Amino acid sequence: MGLLQDKLAKYDAPQQFMEKGVYPYFRTIDSHQDTEVLMSGKKVLMFGSNAYTGLTYDKRIIEAAKAATDKYGTGCAGSRFLNGTLDIHVELEKELAAFVGKEEALVYSTGFTVNEGVVSCLTDRNDYIICDDRDHASIVDGRRLSFSTCLKYKHNDMEALEKELQKCKPESVKLIVVDGVFSMEGDLANLPEIVRLKKKYNATIMVDEAHGLGVFGKQGRGVCDHFGVTEDIDLIMGTFSKSLASIGGFIAADKATINWLRHNSRSYIFSASNTPAATAAAREALHIIMNEPERQERLWNITNYALKSFRDAGFEIGETESPIIPLYVRDTEKTFIVTKMAFDEGIFINPVIPPACAPQDTLVRVALMATHTKDQVDYAVEKLTKCFKELGLIK
Q: Could you read off the pLDDT tens digit of each residue along the chain, which spans 395 residues?
A: 799 999 999 999 999 999 999 999 999 999 999 999 999 889 999 999 999 999 999 999 999 999 999 999 999 999 999 999 999 999 999 999 999 999 999 999 999 999 999 999 999 999 999 999 999 999 999 999 999 999 999 999 999 999 999 999 999 999 999 999 999 999 999 999 999 999 999 999 999 999 999 999 999 999 999 999 999 999 999 999 999 999 999 999 999 999 999 999 999 999 999 999 999 999 999 999 999 999 999 999 999 999 999 999 999 999 999 999 999 999 999 999 999 999 999 999 999 999 888 889 999 999 999 999 999 999 999 999 999 999 999 98
Q: 3-state class of 268 per DSSP?
A: helix
Predicted TM-score (pTM) of the model is: 0.96
Residues 6 or more apart from 157 whose CB is under 8 A from it?
none
13-46+293-390 and 59-291, same CATH topology? no
Domain borders along the chain are 13-46+293-390, 59-291
Cβ contact 65:274 at 8 Å: no
Which homologous superfamily is 13-46+293-390 in?
A: Aspartate Aminotransferase, domain 1 (3.90.1150.10)
Query: What residues form DSSP beta bridges with 365?
Result: 326, 350
Residues with catalytic annotation?
183, 211, 242
* CB contact at 8 A, 206 and 169: no
- Crossing angle of helices 332-344 and 374-390, in 10° steps, is 130
| Per-residue model confidence as pLDDT tens digits over 82-103 | 999 999 999 999 999 999 999 9
Supply the DSSP symbol for 218: G
172 burial class (0-12, 13-18, 19+ CB within 10 angstroms)?
Answer: middle
CATH assignment of 59-291, given 3.30.465.10, 3.40.640.10, 3.10.580.10, 3.30.230.10?
Answer: 3.40.640.10
Taking each helix axis as running N to C, give the angle between helix 59-72 and helix 276-291, from 0 to 180 degrees, rounded to the nearest 10.
150
